[in-house]
Structure 1
Amino acid sequence: MAPLTQPYTEIAPAADGLPAIRRIGTSAVWRALRQGWDDFTASPTQLVFLAIIYPIIGLVAAAAAAGRDLMPLVWPLLSGFALVGPVAALGVYELSRRREQGLPVSWVNAFDVRHSPSLPSILALGVLLLAIFVAWLFTAEAIYRGSFGRMVPASTADFLAMLTGTPGGRRLMVLGNFAGFLFAAAVLALTVISFPLLLDRPVGAGAAIRASLRAVALNPMPMALWGLVVAVVLLVASIPLFVGLAVAVPVLGHATWHLYRAVMPR
């Protein structure tokens, strides 16, 4: 196993038709984050594009769930966007890929993903993530119904009181967060290198998913750290009315590309 303090060490050879995968240390995660920040600051036009898109996504989701009947799904909706985040970050991966190759980089190039030879596989993987997102919403609703039945909170204050002041609310928070963790861990394992791999090589959706699962199996501690970093950064960035996502999402997207490069030798 790779020493946790080293960026990367030995390479696990190709197996079952999958590319070779490098075993990395946890320091590779911090290195990827620094490189992601460098990519983000190197092309300031990205900020204009992302500062408009991502806050709007978060605010629309919050507004859609503000109705009384949908109030219990506000948190599952907002947190669930992390499950489809790899799709939203596709254009950012492309920008890092172009910068790595010394090509001109502009926010317009984020849309070059549509010319990728792997586009059908990328779309198939995107549909899978959408299905996981929908499954998460159904699961969250089932946990709420199991805790409170058909009871509908009269207001946000009433809902918060239900969560913090009743046994059902405490059960809801424990079970809901545990279920959310399982969904997030599944998406991490399925996608941590699969989307960048599809942009980089025409391997097919199935092979990309298996490569991602193998990368996680070979690097459990670094990948667990990466998942924790992503969760914390997205949570903190969402607090100021989601405006922080305009920086957090592209930086994490760029960093994901560099983490892929650390794991997957050329």
Structure 2
Amino acid sequence: MAKTIGNPLSWLLQGAETTGEHIGHTVGEMSSDGVKEMPKACKLTMDDIIHSLAAGLEDFAACRSDAMFLVLFYPLIGIALVVMSLSMNLLPLIVPMIMGFAILGPVAAVGLYEMSRRREAGAEPQWLDAFAVLRSPAFGAILVLGVYLAALFMVWLVAADMIYSRTLGPEPPESIASFAAAVVTTREGWIMAIGGGIVGAGFAFAALAVSLVSFPMLLHRHVGLPVAVATSLKVFRKSPVVCLTWGFIVGASLLIGSIPFLVGLIFAVPILGHATWHLYRRAVQ
């Protein structure tokens, strides 16, 4: 049969039909109505963390340049936030912003989960594969979960500002040196540091429990957002010590990676992102 060139109207109708189907699938992923059986959460051990980190490092070594290019803009965004904070007299919020990377980390690593998923399936992943998430039916659910973490991050910054105002504030510090000296040498500074650390850990806990395996699960299985979040909470309840250890490793790695002008995030984020995928594969049967 001879091939014919379609007219613009037929192209438009075909595009609208494809878009409608995609929107329908995306909306369907927002709920878990069609899920007949909950995924089984496995009990994790410290060996699972070790193996996941090793597998994440292996994934990073296999697609190092692609992964590093993919996360290059994270330290650039971080540096821009720091510069903006200095120019707007928001110096006390610089450390909370850096700590907030642990809250937003799962969103930042979604593309890396997709790369690990494709590599596990035998494909040769490239950084462009990370944008396949935009075409995934789970994109809407991922976006909603990302908004939750972003809101958590904003509330954390408000809480951090309130803690500073009630201790060393409310006036902004005169300089970085005077602020650092006040934190280390005054009673109010110690209260701010300890209190802020405890409150920040609470926010990180809320983010970790909800997002531990939910993001990679949404990419891997058509379970819907409620089931993904419920499974993440179930994994946390079954292995709280291991999950908290994992959260500490992630937070410490991101903090250390942030010290040299956030450049270390180019290495820390990909390794942790790939490792999170492998931890999910061990946590959910």
- Tell me the TM-score normalised to structure 2 length: 0.84
Contact 2:101/2:254 (8 A) holds in 1: no
Moved more, 136-145 or 16-25: 16-25
- How far off is 1:57 after superposition? 2.0
Deviation >6 Å, runs of 4+: none
The residue number in structure 2 matching 1:256 is: 276
SS class of match (1:147): coil
The residue number in structure 2 matching 1:3 is: none
Q: Does 2:99 match 1:79?
A: yes
- How far off is 1:90 after superposition? 0.2
Structure 1 residues 63-111: Cα deviation after superposition (integer angstroms, max 9, x where no partner):
1111362111111112112211110100000000000111231111011
Of residues 202, 207, 232 in structure 2, which corresponds to 1:187?
A: 207
Contact 1:68/1:152 (8 A) holds in 2: no
Contact 1:68/1:155 (8 A) holds in 2: no
- How far off is 1:17 after superposition? 4.7
SS class of match (2:72): helix
Moved more, 159-168 or 85-94: 159-168
Contact 2:111/2:131 (8 A) holds in 1: yes
Distance (whole Å) between structure 1 residues aligned to residue 83 and residue 102 of structure 2: 18
Q: Please show how residues 217-232 of structure 1 align to structure 2 within 5 Å.
A: 217-232=237-252
SS class of match (1:93): helix
Q: Could you list the runs of 5+ residues in structure 1 that have no partner in the other structure?
A: 1-14
Q: How many residues align?
A: 251
The residue number in structure 2 matching 1:211 is: 231
Distance (whole Å) between structure 2 residues aligned to residue 259 and residue 47 of structure 1: 18
Distance (whole Å) between structure 1 residues aligned to residue 136 and residue 88 of structure 2: 43
SS class of match (1:22): coil
- How far off is 1:23 after superposition? 1.1
Structure 1 residues 162-212: Cα deviation after superposition (integer angstroms, max 9, x where no partner):
212221111100100000111111111110100001001122222211110
Distance (whole Å) between structure 2 residues aligned to residue 160 and residue 25 of structure 1: 39
Q: Could you list the runs of 5+ residues in structure 2 that have no partner in the other structure?
A: 1-34
Q: Does 2:146 match 1:126?
A: yes
Moved more, 186-195 or 50-59: 50-59
Of residues 147, 163, 166 in structure 2, which corresponds to 1:146?
A: 166
Of residues 157, 174, 178 in structure 1, which corresponds to 2:198?
A: 178
Structure 1 residues 10-52: Cα deviation after superposition (integer angstroms, max 9, x where no partner):
xxxxx99521111121110000000000111111332441463
Of residues 52, 56, 60 in structure 2, which corresponds to 1:32?
A: 52
Determine what percentage of the aligned residue pairs are the same residue: 41
Contact 2:71/2:269 (8 A) holds in 1: no
Distance (whole Å) between structure 1 residues aligned to residue 166 and residue 37 of structure 2: 44
- Tell me the TM-score normalised to structure 1 length: 0.90
